[in-house]
Amino acid sequence: MEGHPEAHPEQGIQLTLLSGFVGRERVADPHSGVELAPALPVAQVAIDSPLPHLDRIFDYSVPKALDADARPGVRVRVKFSGQDLNGFLVARIESSESDQLVPLSRVYSAVPVLAPRVLELARRVAARYSGTVADVLRIAVPPRVASLEKGYLRKGTKDGGAAGAGGSAAHPAAADSGPDSHAAGGHAAGGHDAPEPVPAAHPGPSLFSGYSHAEEYLTELALGASPKAVLQCLSGYGSFSWHHQMAQAAAYCQLSGRGAIAVVPDLRDLELLEAAFAAVLPEGSYVKLTADDGPTLRYDNFLRVLSGEVKIVIGTRSAAYAPVQDLGLVCCWDDGNELHIERRAPYQHSRDVLLLRSEIEGTAVLMAGHSRSTESQRLVATGWAQPLVAGRSVARTATARVISTADSFEQERDPLASRARLPHRAWETARAALPHGPVLVQVARTGYAPALACQRCREVARCTECTGPLMQARAHGTAAVLVTCRWCGRAETNFSCPTCGHRSLRALAVGASRTAEELGRAFPSATVISSSGDHIKTVVPDRPAIVVATVGAEPVAPRGYAAALLLDGDSLLRRESLRSGEDTLRRWMNAAALVRPARDGGVVVVTAEESVEVQALVRWDPAGYAEREFLLRHELGLPPAVRVASLTGTEQDVAAFAAGLHLPEAVRVIGPAPLAASYASSPGTDTDDAPDYRTLLFFPYSMAAAVTGAMRSLKASNAARRIGSPVQVRCDGVDVI
């Protein structure tokens, strides 16, 4: 078997056998009598392996028996170093540098599930994040359901022998099962009818009236152009909400005969977006792609997109890789949300995946949110995207009145407001608004009392068994409140402070459950609804109620909330993170956008101390805040003005890895430094083990390809030579500083 790496311009150092890669796979019996395919007898295969030194293309021979099905994009099984591995056939060629090739073991089916444009996207994502193509493809291509592939191939035969977007000829399925194969149950649309022309979309009256550049943006979409924009939405409910605006943008794109992809962070947003798309797009013209739909429905929708039957896709992170034909628009909602970050290597962000896809396929871009992330601000500041922002008069008409309890007027009326968790102004606002509809109360934490301290000396209360922090929680199925350890779960019935000997506890922080209980006593005639933890609601009814929700779990009221109380703002702002202010403003604005306009009596009360974030909320000016924040980051040389990579591992390995990169002087290197804080707070940690160390690399965008390519190559070389322990490489992680 011959293996040779493909050379890409974004890869800083070419991967070669000199770097320590495995040699050629020897064939035990080169004269085994296997008859090869008469034309293009060499298959180039991308192996599904997490090992970084196998992140390249390997050549295999194509037996004549598999010739018909072995087309680019199909799943295959191959022999590698005595093991059976899965992979994707990416190309067929005439000859190889080696005259001794191992034949393909199996072609699972003739369905070309890996479209060429998706493979190119996976390569770009892996290069940007210093990862492997195999890791990206596991997310891009959903698990196989064999019975659905049979129906897909039958449909291709009926339609004249073309099997979908890959251009492969249709053949019977090579096997009934394969990697990640599932039995088809429940929803099994095995044989789709021949696709009929999709009726035109009906966008309806413009939802962007009063937004600068918005009408020109929609017109260009309808005419087939590819404009780029960052949209600041005003409303989170009703007919002018963000989901209806995104659906209208997709409808305008469909008028030009092109497809669209819209990615949202979670299932609650996806439900809202699906309802909005159903209102303006013809039935059957779009599909959802999300792992929560289950393997059968998800794979059925994937095959519909692959065949070209459907050109519009909505979904969560993995939907960014959907093989949409004639793609014209990519949309991302709330790109500042951490749920857009993939939890598996190489930890890519949906926003960056969509931007790379736009670059590859020349599509329009729409980054939308109630606030504006500094990454989106960078797109605006560089002139790459234009801002779609409502005028001041439109914003004042469409948004709620925002009151800060920290301003001078409120402080004169209530001098103790800064010390109270629920100031008098907030309580009065809730009382006045309750008869007119639901009232939203946003809190920072779930649970009852997630942090406790000694009543006398304020020392943090800890478990006597494992030194974990103590908390108050309700006993399962009862109203009793117990003090337990957050790490080991042990109940503490006889607390005594080791510092002063006092036996009473006080709450350092109050969770959603405790807040709901206290508000229930304060408003005994009102219904209290909780949305937090494992019980998150998408919608609440339009009737008087107190809705207590943790940040990010606020349900939507169909006609908007009568008022909103934003509590615990100071604890959000004081988090040790570069993005604490930006993220807090985003969470506040997401909640405030669910409240009725001021002309309908909508009021938002924020209880945090005076800050630039509070002022941005009061003025409803996230664009101005993002511009200020980005300029500060630019002056300080911090992301997203530059890129950052974190190297995590043992001190010796991290130092050796950074030294082996031979970085230029323009790259700032900080570390290695121990991760003592996060290490000490981890449950079940063995204190005898040395903590992990981290080194941060800050490098300009002009050098990004060289730096990420060097890290990628060094990871592969070290893995092949088995030098040291693996070093985790994360690029642009939002939690590293």
SS (H, E, C) 531-543: EECCECCCECCCC
Report which secondary-structure segment, H or E, holds 356.
helix 350-361
Query: Confidence band (pLDDT; 50, 70, 90) for 676?
Result: low
CB 649 within 8 A of CB 656: no
C-alpha span between 239 and 170 (Å, rounded): 45
The pLDDT of residue 679 is above 70 = no
The pLDDT of residue 578 is above 70 = yes
Which pLDDT score is estimated for 164? 42
How large is the average pLDDT for residues 571-597? Answer: 94
The pLDDT of residue 603 is above 70 = yes
Which pLDDT score is estimated for 667? 95
The pLDDT of residue 174 is above 60 = no
C-alpha span between 149 and 678 (Å, rounded): 46
Query: Confidence band (pLDDT; 50, 70, 90) for 215?
Result: very high
Which pLDDT score is estimated for 85? 95
Q: With pLDDT > 70 as the criterion, what percentage of the chain qualifies?
A: 82
pLDDT, one tens digit per residue, over 534-570 is 788 999 999 999 999 999 999 999 999 999 999 988 8
Which pLDDT score is estimated for 191? 43
**Helices then strands (H, E): number in the chain?**
20, 29
Lowest mean pLDDT among 143-152, 320-329, 359-368, 517-526: 517-526
Cα–Cα distances (Å) from 313 to 115, 260, 263, 302, 319, in that order, read 16, 6, 8, 9, 7
Query: Confidence band (pLDDT; 50, 70, 90) for 419?
Result: low
C-alpha span between 348 and 321 (Å, rounded): 12
- Pick the more confident residue, 532 or 300: 300
Which pLDDT score is estimated for 152? 86
How large is the average pLDDT for residues 197-225? Answer: 88
pTM of this structure: 0.84
C-alpha span between 221 and 294 (Å, rounded): 33
The pLDDT of residue 342 is above 60 = yes
Query: Confidence band (pLDDT; 50, 70, 90) for 639?
Result: very high
SS3 342: coil
Query: Confidence band (pLDDT; 50, 70, 90) for 340?
Result: very high
Lowest mean pLDDT among 106-115, 175-184, 532-541, 669-678: 175-184
pLDDT, one tens digit per residue, over 502-537 is 888 876 565 566 676 777 777 888 898 988 877 889
Domains, the chain, ranges and CATH?
2-169 (3.40.1440.60), 214-395 (3.40.50.300), 397-632 (no CATH), 643-731 (3.30.70)
Which pLDDT score is estimated for 461? 82
How large is the average pLDDT for residues 653-669? Answer: 94
Tell which phi-psi region holds residue 299, choosing left (phi > 0), alpha (psi between -120 and 50) or beta.
alpha
Other beta carbons within 10 angstroms of residue 681's beta carbon come to: 11
C-alpha span between 377 and 631 (Å, rounded): 10
The pLDDT of residue 182 is above 70 = no
CB 582 within 8 A of CB 390: no
- Pick the more confident residue, 411 or 642: 642
Query: Which positions ≥6 away from 689 have C-beta within 8 Å?
Result: none
Which pLDDT score is estimated for 201? 72
The pLDDT of residue 279 is above 80 = yes
Strand order in the sheet with 668-674: 668-674, 693-699, 643-649, 728-731
Q: Is 577 exposed, middle or buried (0-12, 13-18, 19+ CB in 10 A)?
A: middle
Average pLDDT in the chain: 85
pLDDT, one tens digit per residue, over 76-133 is 999 998 899 999 999 999 998 887 899 999 999 999 999 999 999 999 999 999 999 9
Sign for the CA dihedral angle at 203, 205, 207, 213 comes to positive
**Chain-centre distance of CA 24, in angstroms?**
39
Tokens of 335: 């790109």
Query: Confidence band (pLDDT; 50, 70, 90) for 410?
Result: low
The pLDDT of residue 358 is above 90 = yes
Which pLDDT score is estimated for 348? 97
